[in-house]
Amino acid sequence: MLELQDVCFTIKKSGESINLVDHVSLDIPKGHFMAIVGPSGCGKTTLLKTIAGLNPESAGALLWEGRNLSQEGDFSPSEMGYVPQFSIAYDPLTVDESVEAATRLRVKYDSTEELDDRIDKVLEETGLAAISDRPVKVLSGGQKRRLGLAMELVSNPKILLCDEVTSGLDPRSEREIVHLLHDISRKEGRIVMSVTHSLAHLELYDSILVLHEGRVAYHGPPEKLTHYFSVKDSEEIYPRLANQAPERWQASWLKHKDSYYAMLVEERRSRIERGELSVKSYPAGTDVPDRATDLPGFFSQFATLLSRRWRIFFRDRGQVFLQLAILLCFPVLVTLFSDKASGNIRRYSDRMQDSVYEEIQEQQSVRADQAKVGSAISGIIMFQVVLLALMGSNNSAREIAGERPIYEKEKFAGLRPLAYLSSKVAFLACLVIAQSLWMALFVNFFGTFRGEFVEHASFLLLINASMTAICLAISSLMRTAEQASLLSIYLVGFQLPLSGAVLALPEHIEAFTRPFISAYWAWSGSVEALQSQVHGAVKSVIDTSLSAQESCLFTLYVHIVVALVLAWVGTSRPQWE
């Protein structure tokens, strides 16, 4: 039994407290199919979220099988399924793959047979078995809703909360989905609560809850609905509601509640007698909880997410093409300029020149060589650094923000944020290593790096890793993928001017900005790895001071660690719409 006792959900608006859910009291027994209806904005979704635990109740109590959810913790992820208004499946995956990933993330299983059985059972139950190999992106609206339900049913929840799963569907699909929900509620004593705009097929529900401005206006049998509101047709209920203040509807309901609840109890008793409801699930008038299905471990969730990420990556041809194009074209772009950096730098001759004039001429010529080669080498290093920073931002700016609603839904269903973040880090690390090493090797092959190659390659790897981690943090903290992309692009754009590699910054600005500019540390570290003569040539053309390699390495490591901590904060923080 689910009981709501005077439950309120209150928000503060302009210093005033507003009850979006206002003293709602309900009794919902097992095996019950209930519709939540009411005019738009009356608080249907808010009530559903309050029951689910997404909106913490401000007053009152929620009791589930005698357990006070406010005091003893919310539903366990396997006890409750929540089907939101948005799709929770990835378009490039098939129906079967989506249900399999949902099962692997939510359910601990002992053998592959057990896993397959569970997936087959759910696909059968939701009528998706025949189209299990179809990609999600080609499914109809009704099929997508079925998939959403299937992905919740994998954990065999005892209570299923559905938010507008029939909205936007054609009448036939809507009828099919309501029938499906009805059938789901008839199995294993499951409670199904469905928020709906539609007043069609009300006869299939065991009870109808009518909300008006967050208050209960009616909760009783569907066949008594029109009688209660003194209307001929259920379509007339909403205009009728508007004729009276919500407080009066609530007061009127409280007066009649007992007699309507007695009807519900009577109907329930006859269902049990007709054998439509298993009495086994109601021993001695009490509800005994089943053993909650355990969640899979960290590594199992990590492996499922990582393999799903690679699958989605390879299915998205545009993404693969973009990554390959970037991987190949960026190093080619750098080598176009490598000729200028490979010129010789003449040394000062040991021999005394015959005249002062010749001496000055030689000095000028050596300086000209130094300036030419030094600025070309410095420029090429910075070019590599900026391109790798750009790759880093392209790698991760949308990685979390682009799938936030799905991630939030999966987290709510038991996904560990650390498993999620680790899978992202593992996936991105592969991209970072491939991009950075390829850039270093390719450029080195066409125009040998005139210094310690391994050290230079390490700095290229670190700048890419640092920007990827920073943009991942941005992605986890921003509300939308567009915000995250824009901020990441600006961040890369500012790297070049603020690095001091092109123009030295005023000292008071440099002292403030330098610690945060990853590009400076990667550029400076790479310059320090140059042979001494080339290093001297670069130093002769720059006004910006260089830092020791150890400081550069340390700072880049700090950037990566801080960014990952922020990404952890961003992924752990709830961000439901």
Ligand X SMILES: Nc1ncnc2c1ncn2[C@@H]1O[C@H](COP(=O)(O)OP(=O)(O)OP(=O)(O)O)[C@@H](O)[C@H]1O
Q: Which stretches of the chain bind ligand X, using CB under 6 A?
A: 11, 20, 38, 40-46, 197
> Locate tokens 């001071």: which residue?
545
User: Shortest CA distance to 208 belongs to which of 61, 45, 47, 28?
Assistant: 28
Q: Shortest gap between Cβ of 34 and ligand X (angstroms)?
A: 15
CB closer to ligand X, 15 vs 283: 15
Q: Shortest gap between Cβ of 8 and ligand X (angstroms)?
A: 13
CB closer to ligand X, 58 vs 513: 58
Written as six digits, the tokens of 105 are 């993330």
CB closer to ligand X, 62 vs 491: 62
Q: Shortest gap between Cβ of 246 and ligand X (angstroms)?
A: 13
Report how far residue 257's alpha carbon sits from residue 483's, in angstroms, rounded to the nearest whole number: 49
Q: Shortest gap between Cβ of 43 and ligand X (angstroms)?
A: 4
CB closer to ligand X, 11 vs 368: 11
CB closer to ligand X, 163 vs 528: 163
Using DSSP, state whether 361 is helix, strand or coil.
Answer: helix
CB closer to ligand X, 167 vs 335: 167
Q: Give CA angle at 510 (370, 385), nearest 5°.
A: 55
Could you give the count of Cα atoms lying within 13 Å of 491 in the half-sphere of its Cβ?
27
Q: Is 227 exposed, middle or buried (0-12, 13-18, 19+ CB in 10 A)?
A: exposed
Helices 453-477 and 549-572 pack at an angle, to 10 degrees, of 20
Cα dist. 74→69, 102, 419, 499 in Å? Answer: 5, 21, 22, 50
Q: Shortest gap between Cβ of 175 and ligand X (angstroms)?
A: 20
Q: Shortest gap between Cβ of 46 and ligand X (angstroms)?
A: 3
CB closer to ligand X, 10 vs 300: 10
Q: Shortest gap between Cβ of 505 and ligand X (angstroms)?
A: 44
Cα dist. 524→10, 519, 528 in Å? Answer: 55, 8, 6
CB closer to ligand X, 42 vs 165: 42
> 520 and 389 in contact (C-beta within 8 Å)?
no
Query: Taking the CB of residue 406, how many other CB atoms lie within 10 A of it?
Result: 15
Query: Taking the CB of residue 355, how many other CB atoms lie within 10 A of it?
Result: 9
Q: Shortest gap between Cβ of 576 and ligand X (angstroms)?
A: 9
> 456 and 449 in contact (C-beta within 8 Å)?
yes
**Main-chain phi, psi angles of 60, to 5 degrees:** 85, -175
Q: Shortest gap between Cβ of 181 and ligand X (angstroms)?
A: 17
CB closer to ligand X, 45 vs 435: 45
